C-alpha cells in the first residue's frame, strides 16, 4: 500500500490534468452491457462512463472480463464466432451497435493496440504506419508524409527510425514494434485509443517508454488501458475501474481506488491478497 | 529411440533363439532396403532413357518446325510446345482466380459446416479421373460448337486445377496469424481490403507455390485433351480451333509406326520432363524460404 | 459534435453505412467456393445425360455383356470392368507391399542423409506424367518383359492359369506393372504418414520388453497402423483405377476377357481414350459415356472409402490426392 501511495503522490502533478477536462460528454457511455461467448457469460451488467481526455485503467484478476470489455468498445468481440451481447455502448453519444453504421466506422474512430505487437511482416516501417490511411482511401503523398512523421513522433519512435523507414516493420525490437503499432493506430487519428495489456510482453525499459508515451498522449486523446500490473495502473491512469468475475466492482479516481477503495473486494485485490 | 536400440543391441545373445532373432532383424532390414531400391529404380531408368533417346533428337528443328506430313522425315514440335503454353494459360485464367477466391472464402468467410462440405466435395473432385473431365467438357463445349478447340482443352485443364488450388490456398491462408486480421480490423480497414492487401500479400509465396504445383500437374495431362483440344499438325492462331499440345503429340508419335516419330516422341518427352522438373525446383526453392521464415513474427 | 477534435488537417472519410465493396468481395469469394458444388453436379449430370441412350438400350445387362462390337452396334462393359479391376488389382498387389516396405525403410532405418534424397526421388517419381511412363513402357518396359520376365514366369509358374498362353509383350500384366510404378509414390507417402503417426509410447513399450528392432516394428508399429496402411492401399487403388495414358499404351487394347495375364486387356479409361474420337454412331458414343459413368462411380466409391478411412486417422485434415 505504501509503495503505491508514494507512486500516486509522484504523479500528483498529472492529477491536475483531470480537472481540465475539455469536454463534458463522456467518450463511452456503457449501460447494462452483457457479453456471452456461447454459453459463458463474460460480462454482466456493466454500466460505466469513460471520460474524455483521461487515461482510464481497467484492472482485475485474469478472467475477470477486462479484455472482453475493452474489445467490446470497438466491436472487436464480433470477430470471435458465437458472441452475443446485450445493453448499449455509446461513443460520444452515438450508439455503436446501431444498424445504420458499420463496425469499420467505429473502428476508425477508436484505435486499438494489442497485447503482442503485430506489425505487418510484408510492409516496411513507413508502410506499416500508413496502412490504416492508405487502405481507407487516403493517398495524397503530402498528407501521408506529414502523418507519418506526426504519428512516429507521438509514439516516441521518430528519432529511432527516421533514417531507415524502409526497413521491414518486423526488424525492430519488441518494444519498438509495439511503439510502431501505437504509431500505426495513431496515424488514423482516432478519438480514443484502447490498449489491451500493451506492455505485458515487453521488458521494463520498453514498458517505461510506453508509459511515458501514454503520459504525453493524454492531452490529445482519450486512452483506455487494460493492465494486470497494478503499479502501472497507479502510475499512468487518472481513473481506474476494477472488474471481477465479469462485473464492474468499483470505478473512481485512481488515487481513491488505491488508497481507500470503497469496496472490500477492491481492497483485497489492490493489496495483493488475490490476483 | 536410437539410444534404446543401442542399449538393446549391446546385450549379447546367449542362445540360439536370440541369435536367430538378431539375424532375422538384419535380414528384414536388408529386404526393406531392397524394396526401396526397387521402388526408386524406375525413376532413374525413365530419366536415363529420356536423356539417351531424347537428347539425340533434340535439335533446332525440333523447336522451330511443325510436324511434317505422314511419312516424311524431319519436322518438329514447335506448335505443340506453343500449344501447351496456350492451354496452360487458358487453364490458369480459369483456375487461378476461381481457386484463390474459393480458398479465400473457406479461410476468411466460411463457417465450419459449409467448409466441411466444400472440402469434402473438393477432395472428391480431386479423385475424378482426368479422362472423365475430358468427356464432360466434350459434351458441353465441343458438341454444341461442333468443333474441338483450345478453349475446350484449356477449360478442361482449368477445371482440374480448381479443387487443387482451392485446397492449397485455404491451407496457406489459415496459417496467417489471426492477429494480423485483428490489427487490420482495429484500424477500421474494410474487410475486403484486409484480405486483399494484407492477408493475401502475406501468404503470396504459399499461394504461388500451390499454383506452380497445379501447373506442373496439368502440363503432363493428356487424357482430358484427347477430345477437347484434339491436336493439330499446324500452327493454330484461332483458339476456337483444335490445337496441338506436347503430351498429345508425344502420345500420337509413340503409337505411330514410324521410327523417326518415335525419336521425336522421346525428344518431346524430354522437353516436357525438363519443364516439370524446372517447376518442381522453383517450388522447392520457394518452399525452403518459407520454411526458414516459418514464423511470421520475429522477436 | 464534440470539442476535443484534434487540430489535424485531414479527416478520414466517415462513411457510415454498409459498404458494397465488402459485400461484393465476399460474394465473389462465395462464388469461387460454390464452383466446387457446381462442378460436382455438372460432372454427374453430364455423364448421366449422355449415357441415357445407352442405358435405355441395354439396361443393366450393359454391365454384364462381353460383346464390344462397333460394327453391329452392340456394346457391353464387362471386358473393360474386368480389365480395370484386374490391372488395378495387380498394381496394388505389387505397389502396397513395396510401398509399405519403403515407408518402413524411410521411417525406421534410413539415416537422415539418405532419407531426404530418397523422399525427393519418390516425389519426382510422382511428378512424371502418365504419357511419359507410357512412352517408356512401350519402348523399354514391354520389350524387356516380353523378352525376359514373361518367359521366365512362364517356365517357373506356367502351371497357373495366369501365366499360360502366348506372349505378346503388351498385356494385362504390363498394364498392372506400369500402374504399380505410378502409384508407388502415393502409397509410399501415405504409408509414411501413417507410420509416423504411431506414438512413440507404443515403440518404447515394446523395446522395454527386450524386443529387437523388427519385433518392435511388427508388434507395436504395424499392428497399430494396420487400418491406416490399408487406407493407403485403398488410396492407391483409387488412383490406379483412373490411370489412362500409360495403361493404354502397354495393355494391348483388346476387349477380350482372358485368364492369362500375358493376354492383352482393355480398361474403361483406355477404351474411352482410344475410341471416343472415332465413335461413329450415337449409340457408340453413348455407350462410351456410360463406360465413363461406370468408371466415375467405381472411382468415387473407392476414393470415398479411402477418404473416410484416412479422415478417421487424422480427424478432419485430409490428405491431398
Neighbouring C-beta atoms of residue A218, cutoff 10 Å: 20
**Mutation site, A104, A119, A189, interface B, largest B CB count within 10 A:** A104
Smallest Cβ–Cβ distance between C124 and the set B43, B98, B266 belongs to B43
Q: Is B216 on the interface with C (CB under 8 A)?
A: yes
Inside any domain, residue B51: yes
Can you give the pLDDT at residue C12? 47
Give me the pLDDT at residue A194, please: 95
Q: What is the pLDDT confidence band of residue A12, given thresholds at 50, 70 and 90?
A: very low
Q: How many CB pairs under 8 A join B and C?
A: 276
C6-56 pLDDT, tens digit each? 333 334 444 555 677 888 888 999 999 999 999 999 999 999 999 888 888
**pLDDT of the residue at A19:** 38
* pLDDT of the residue at A270: 86
Which residue on chain B is closest to A108 by alpha carbon?
B188
Return the partners of chain B (3 or more C-beta pairs < 8 Å): A, C
pLDDT tens digits for chain B (299 residues)?
Answer: 455 555 555 555 566 677 777 777 778 888 888 999 999 899 899 999 999 988 887 777 777 777 777 766 767 788 899 999 999 999 999 999 999 999 999 998 888 888 989 998 998 899 899 999 999 999 999 989 988 999 999 999 999 999 999 999 999 999 999 999 999 999 988 888 899 888 888 999 999 999 999 999 999 999 999 989 888 888 888 888 999 999 999 999 999 888 888 988 999 999 999 999 999 999 988 887 655 554 454 43
DSSP-assigned states of every residue in A20-75? T-S-SS-SEEEEEEEEEETTEEEEEEEEEEEPTTSEEEEE-STTSSHHHHHHHHTT
User: Which H or E run contains A239?
Assistant: strand A239-244
pLDDT tens readout for residues A168-179: 988 999 899 999
> What's the pLDDT tens digit per position in A149-189?
999 998 989 999 989 999 998 899 989 999 999 999 999 98
Indicate which of C11, C17, C21, C32 best probes the interface with B, i.e. most B CBs within 10 Å of its own CB: C32
Contact A46, A30 (CB under 8 A): yes
Instruction: Return the exposure string of B122-135: e unless at least 16 CB atoms fall within 10 Å of the residue's CB, then b.
Output: bbbbbbbbbbbbbb
Q: Residues of A with CB below 8 A from B190's CB?
A: 104, 135-136
Q: Is the pLDDT of residue C313 over 80?
A: no
Q: Does B109 share its domain with B205? A: yes
Choose, out of C108, C129, C298, the residue to mutate when testing the contact with B (most B CBs < 10 Å). Answer: C129
- B106/B86 same-domain check: yes
Rounded to two decimals, the pTM is 0.85
Give the per-residue pLDDT at C292. 93
Note whether B36 and B127 are same-domain residues: no
Distance CA C276, CA C288 (A): 7
Owner of C-alpha cell 539410444: B3
Question: pLDDT for A55-67, tens place per residue?
Answer: 999 999 988 889 9
Q: Rounded distance, CA C188 to CA B38, Å? A: 13
Range among A216-220, B238-242, C108-112, C246-250 rated most confident: C246-250
The pLDDT value recorded for residue A113 is 94
Query: What value does the mean pLDDT take over residues C92-96?
Result: 94
Alpha helices per DSSP H over chain A:
2-10, 12-18, 66-73, 103-109, 125-134, 141-154, 158-161, 174-187, 204-217, 230-236, 254-259, 264-270
**Contact across the interface for B101 and C295, Cβ inside 8 Å:** no
A216-274 tens-digit pLDDT: 888 889 999 999 888 889 888 999 999 999 999 999 999 888 888 888 888 888 888 77
Q: Indicate whether B4 belongs to any domain.
A: no
Percentage of chain A lying above the pLDDT 90 cut: 51
B106 and B141 in a single domain? The answer is yes
Per-residue model confidence as pLDDT tens digits over C197-237: 888 887 788 778 877 777 777 777 777 788 888 888 998 99
Interior angle at CA B210, CA B111 and CA C120, nearest 5: 125
Q: Is residue A54 part of a domain?
A: yes
pLDDT of residue B161: 95
Q: What is the mean pLDDT of residues C90-104?
A: 92
**For B205, nearest residue in chain A (alpha carbons):** A122
Cβ-defined contact of A105 to C14 (cutoff 8 Å): yes
Contact (Cβ atoms closer than 8 angstroms) between residue B41 and residue B251: no
Whether the per-residue pLDDT at C1 is higher than 70: the answer is: no
Whole domain around residue B43: which residue ranges?
A: 13-55
The three-state secondary structure class of A103 is helix
H helical segments located in chain C: 20-58, 78-104, 112-127, 130-136, 142-144, 150-157, 172-196, 200-208, 213-216, 223-224, 226-242, 245-250, 268-275, 282-314
Mean pLDDT is highest, among A93-107, B65-79, B200-214, C153-167, for: B200-214
Binary contact (B186, A114; C-beta < 8 A) = yes
Q: What is the CATH number of the domain that holds B267?
A: 1.10.3720.10
CB contact under 8 A, B202 and A120: yes
- pLDDT score recorded for residue C320: 43
Q: Is A220 on the interface with C (CB under 8 A)?
A: yes
Chain-chain contact of C36 with B162 (C-beta, under 8 angstroms): yes
Element (H, E) at A193: strand A192-196
Q: What is the pLDDT of residue C10?
A: 37
Residue B276 placed within a domain: yes
Q: What are phi and psi of B258, to 5 degrees?
A: -100, 130
Is B7 among the domain residues? no
Q: C69 forms bridges with which residues in the sheet? A: C74
Judged by CB atoms closer than 8 Å, whether chains meet at C1 and A105 is answered as: no
| Domain end residue (candidates: B55, B75, B105) | B55
> Of A92-96, B269-273, C190-194, where does the model show the most confidence?
B269-273
Q: Is residue A187 part of a domain?
A: yes
Residues C300, B127: C-beta atoms closer than 8 Å: yes
Query: How many Cα atoms are found within 13 Å in the side-chain-facing hemisphere of C221?
Result: 26
A82 in contact with B, Cβ within 8 Å: no
Same domain assignment for residues B210 and B114: yes
pLDDT digits (tens, 9 = 90+) for C113-139: 888 889 989 988 999 999 999 999 999
Residue B297 lies in a domain: no
Number of domains chain B contains: 2
Query: Is there a domain that residue A20 lies in?
Result: no
Q: According to the model, what pLDDT value does residue B5 have?
A: 55
Q: Is residue A246 part of a domain?
A: yes
Q: Between these two residues, B183 and A21, which has the higher pLDDT value?
A: B183
DSSP C64-83: T---EETTTTEE-SHHHHHH
φ, ψ (nearest 5 deg) of residue C138:
-60, -45
CA B184 to chain A, closest CA, distance in angstroms equals: 8
Hey, is the C-beta of A137 within 8 angstroms of any chain C C-beta? yes
Tell me the shortest Cα–Cα distance from C319 to chain A, in angstroms. Answer: 27
Average per-residue pLDDT in chain A? Answer: 86
Number of C-beta neighbours around residue C140 at 10 A: 17
- Residues paired with residue B230 on neighbouring β-strands, in sequence order: B243
Q: Give the pLDDT score at B9.
A: 53
| Chain B nearest CA to C102, separation (Å) | 5
Q: Which of B181, B188, B201 sits opposite A122 (nearest CB)?
A: B201
Residues B97, B31 share a domain: no
Question: Cβ distance A269 to A227 under 8 Å?
Answer: no
Contact check, Cβ <8 Å, B187/A184: yes
Tally of domains within chain A: 1
Q: Using the beta-carbon criterion (under 8 Å), do C10 and A143 form an inter-chain contact?
A: yes
b/e sequence A168-205, b meaning 16+ C-beta within 10 Å: bbbebebbbbbbbbbbbbbbbbbbbbbbbbbbebbeee
Structural domain boundaries, residue A244? 2-14+25-270
Domain of A65: which CATH number?
3.40.50.300
Question: How would residue A13 be classed by pLDDT, with cut points 50, 70 and 90?
Answer: very low
- 247-276 in chain B: CB under 8 A from chain C: 247, 250-251, 254-255, 262, 265-266, 269, 272-273, 276
Q: What phi, psi does C198 have (nearest 5°)?
A: -70, 125
- Asked if C142 and C176 touch (Cβ cutoff 8 Å), the reply is no
Looking at the partner chain, which of B183, B190, B197 has a beta carbon nearest the beta carbon of A104? Answer: B190
Cβ of residue A104 closer than 8 Å to a chain C Cβ: yes
At residue C110, the pLDDT reads 81
Return the residue in A72, A131, A169 with the most chain B beta carbons within 10 A, the one to mutate for interface testing: A131
Please indicate if any CB of chain B lies within 8 Å of the CB of A118. Answer: yes
Q: Are residues B140 and B49 in the same domain?
A: no
Residues of chain B whose C-beta is under 8 A from some C-beta in A?
111, 177, 179-191, 193-194, 197-198, 201-202, 204, 296-299
Mean pLDDT of A90-102: 87
Residues B138 and B178 in one domain: yes
Q: Do B127 and C321 touch (CB under 8 A)?
A: yes
The predicted structure's pLDDT at residue C321: 37
- Domains annotated for chain C, with CATH where assigned, are 79-277 (1.10.3720.10)
A107 touches chain B (CB under 8 A): yes
Residue B299 located in a structural domain: no
The verdict on a CB contact (< 8 Å) between C16 and A100 is yes
Residue C91 Cα, gap to closest chain B Cα (Å): 13
A38 falls within a domain:
yes
Look at B183 and A181 and tell me if their CB atoms are within 8 Å: yes
If you count residue pairs, one on A and one on C, with CB atoms under 8 Å apart, how many are there?
48
Question: Of all helices (H) and strands (E), which one includes residue B44?
Answer: helix B16-49
**Residue B80 in contact with partner chain C when CB distance is under 8 A:** no
Residues B74 and B48 occupy one common structural domain = no
Amino acid at each position: 500500500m505504501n509503495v503505491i501511495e508514494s507512486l500516486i503522490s509522484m504523479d500528483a502533478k498529472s492529477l491536475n490534468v483531470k480537472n481540465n477536462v475539455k469536454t463534458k460528454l463522456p467518450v463511452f457511455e456503457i449501460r447494462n452491457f452483457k457479453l456471452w461467448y456461447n454459453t459463458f457469460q463474460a460480462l454482466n451488467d456493466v454500466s460505466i462512463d469513460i471520460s474524455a481526455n483521461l487515461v482510464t485503467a481497467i484492472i482485475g484478476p485474469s478472467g475477470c472480463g477486462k479484455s472482453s470489455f475493452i474489445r467490446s468498445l470497438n466491436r472487436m468481440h464480433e470477430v470471435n464466432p458465437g458472441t452475443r451481447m446485450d445493453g448499449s455502448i455509446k461513443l460520444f453519444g452515438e450508439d455503436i451497435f446501431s444498424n445504420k453504421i458499420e463496425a469499420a466506422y467505429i473502428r476508425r474512430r477508436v484505435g486499438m493496440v494489442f497485447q503482442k505487437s503485430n506489425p505487418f511482416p510484408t510492409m516496411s516501417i513507413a508502410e506499416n504506419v500508413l496502412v490504416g490511411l492508405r487502405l481507407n482511401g487516403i493517398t495524397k503523398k503530402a498528407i501521408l508524409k506529414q502523418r507519418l512523421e506526426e504519428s512516429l513522433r507521438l509514439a516516441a519512435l521518430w528519432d529511432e527510425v527516421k533514417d531507415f523507414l524502409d526497413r521491414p516493420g518486423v526488424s525492430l525490437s519488441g518494444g519498438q514494434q509495439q511503439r510502431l503499432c501505437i504509431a500505426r493506430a495513431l496515424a488514423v487519428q482516432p478519438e480514443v485509443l484502447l490498449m489491451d495489456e500493451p506492455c505485458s510482453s515487453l521488458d521494463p525499459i520498453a514498458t517505461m517508454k510506453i508509459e511515458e508515451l501514454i503520459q504525453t498522449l493524454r492531452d490529445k486523446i482519450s486512452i483506455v488501458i487494460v493492465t494486470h500490473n497494478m503499479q502501472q495502473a497507479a502510475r499512468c491512469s487518472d481513473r481506474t475501474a476494477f472488474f471481477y468475475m465479469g462485473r464492474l466492482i468499483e470505478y473512481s479516481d485512481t488515487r481513491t481506488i488505491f488508497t481507500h477503495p470503497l469496496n472490500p473486494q477492491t481492497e483485497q485485490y489492490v493489496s495483493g491478497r488475490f490476483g | 529411440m536410437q539410444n534404446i536400440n543401442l542399449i538393446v543391441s549391446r546385450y549379447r545373445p546367449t542362445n540360439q533363439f536370440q541369435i536367430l532373432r538378431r539375424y532375422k532383424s538384419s535380414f528384414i532390414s536388408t529386404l526393406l532396403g531392397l524394396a526401396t531400391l526397387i521402388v526408386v529404380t524406375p525413376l532413374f531408368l525413365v530419366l536415363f532413357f529420356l536423356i539417351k533417346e531424347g537428347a539425340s533428337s533434340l535439335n533446332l528443328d525440333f523447336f522451330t518446325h511443325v510436324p511434317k506430313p505422314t511419312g516424311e522425315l524431319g519436322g518438329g514440335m514447335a506448335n505443340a510446345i506453343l500449344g501447351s503454353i496456350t492451354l496452360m494459360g487458358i487453364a490458369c485464367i480459369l483456375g487461378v482466380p476461381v481457386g484463390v477466391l474459393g480458398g479465400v472464402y473457406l479461410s476468411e468467410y466460411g463457417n465450419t459446416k459449409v467448409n466441411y462440405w466444400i472440402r469434402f466435395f473438393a477432395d472428391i473432385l480431386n479423385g475424378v479421373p482426368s479422362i472423365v473431365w475430358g468427356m464432360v467438357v466434350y459434351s458441353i463445349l465441343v458438341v454444341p460448337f461442333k468443333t474441338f478447340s483450345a478453349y475446350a482443352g484449356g477449360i478442361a485443364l482449368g477445371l482440374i486445377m480448381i479443387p487443387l488450388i482451392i485446397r492449397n490456398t485455404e491451407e496457406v491462408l489459415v496459417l496467417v496469424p489471426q492477429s494480423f486480421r485483428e490489427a487490420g480490423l482495429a484500424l477500421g480497414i474494410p474487410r475486403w481490403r484486409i484480405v486483399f492487401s494484407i492477408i493475401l500479400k502475406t501468404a503470396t509465396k504459399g499461394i504461388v507455390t500451390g499454383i506452380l504445383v497445379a501447373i506442373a500437374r496439368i502440363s503432363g495431362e493428356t487424357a482430358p485433351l484427347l477430345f477437347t483440344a484434339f491436336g493439330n499438325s499446324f500452327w493454330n492462331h484461332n483458339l476456337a480451333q483444335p490445337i496441338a499440345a506436347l503430351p498429345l503429340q508425344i502420345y500420337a508419335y509413340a503409337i505411330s509406326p514410324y521410327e523417326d516419330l518415335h525419336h521425336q516422341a522421346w525428344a518431346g518427352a524430354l522437353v516436357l520432363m525438363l519443364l516439370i522438373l524446372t517447376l518442381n525446383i522453383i517450388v522447392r526453392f520457394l518452399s525452403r524460404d518459407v520454411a526458414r521464415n516459418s514464423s511470421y513474427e520475429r522477436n | 459534435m464534440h470539442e476535443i477534435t484534434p487540430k489535424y488537417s485531414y479527416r478520414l472519410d466517415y462513411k457510415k453505412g454498409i459498404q458494397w465493396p465488402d459485400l461484393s468481395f465476399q460474394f465473389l469469394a462465395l462464388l469461387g467456393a460454390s464452383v466446387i458444388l457446381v462442378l460436382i453436379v455438372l460432372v454427374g449430370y453430364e455423364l448421366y445425360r449422355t449415357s441415357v441412350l445407352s442405358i435405355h438400350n441395354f439396361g443393366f445387362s450393359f454391365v454384364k455383356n462381353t460383346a464390344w462390337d462397333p460394327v453391329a452396334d452392340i456394346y457391353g462393359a464387362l471386358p473393360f470392368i474386368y480389365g480395370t479391376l484386374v490391372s488395378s488389382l495387380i498394381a496394388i498387389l505389387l505397389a502396397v507391399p513395396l510401398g509399405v516396405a519403403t515407408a518402413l525403410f524411410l521411417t525406421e532405418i534410413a539415416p537422415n542423409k539418405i532419407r531426404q534424397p530418397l523422399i525427393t526421388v519418390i516425389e519426382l517419381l510422382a511428378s512424371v506424367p502418365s504419357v511419359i511412363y507410357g512412352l517408356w513402357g512401350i519402348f523399354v518396359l514391354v520389350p524387356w518383359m516380353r523378352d525376359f520376365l514373361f518367359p521366365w514366369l512362364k517356365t517357373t509358374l506356367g502351371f497357373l492359369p495366369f501365366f499360360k498362353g502366348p506372349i505378346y509383350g503388351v498385356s494385362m500384366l504390363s498394364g498392372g506393372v506400369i500402374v504399380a510404378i505410378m502409384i508407388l509414390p502415393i502409397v509410399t507417402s501415405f504409408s509414411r504418414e501413417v507410420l509416423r503417426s504411431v506414438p512413440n509410447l507404443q515403440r518404447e513399450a515394446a523395446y522395454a520388453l527386450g524386443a529387437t528392432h523388427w519385433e518392435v516394428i511388427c508388434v507395436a508399429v504395424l499392428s497399430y497402423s494396420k487400418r491406416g496402411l490399408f487406407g493407403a492401399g485403398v488410396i492407391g487403388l483409387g488412383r490406379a483405377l483412373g490411370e489412362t495414358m500409360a495403361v493404354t499404351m502397354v495393355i494391348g487394347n483388346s476387349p477380350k476377357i482372358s485368364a492369362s495375364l500375358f493376354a492383352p486387356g482393355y480398361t474403361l479409361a483406355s477404351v474411352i481414350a482410344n475410341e471416343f474420337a472415332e465413335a461413329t454412331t450415337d449409340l457408340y458414343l453413348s455407350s462410351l459415356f456410360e463406360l465413363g459413368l461406370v468408371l466415375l462411380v467405381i472411382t468415387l466409391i473407392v476414393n470415398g472409402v479411402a477418404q473416410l478411412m484416412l479422415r478417421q486417422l487424422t480427424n478432419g485434415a485430409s490428405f491431398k490426392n
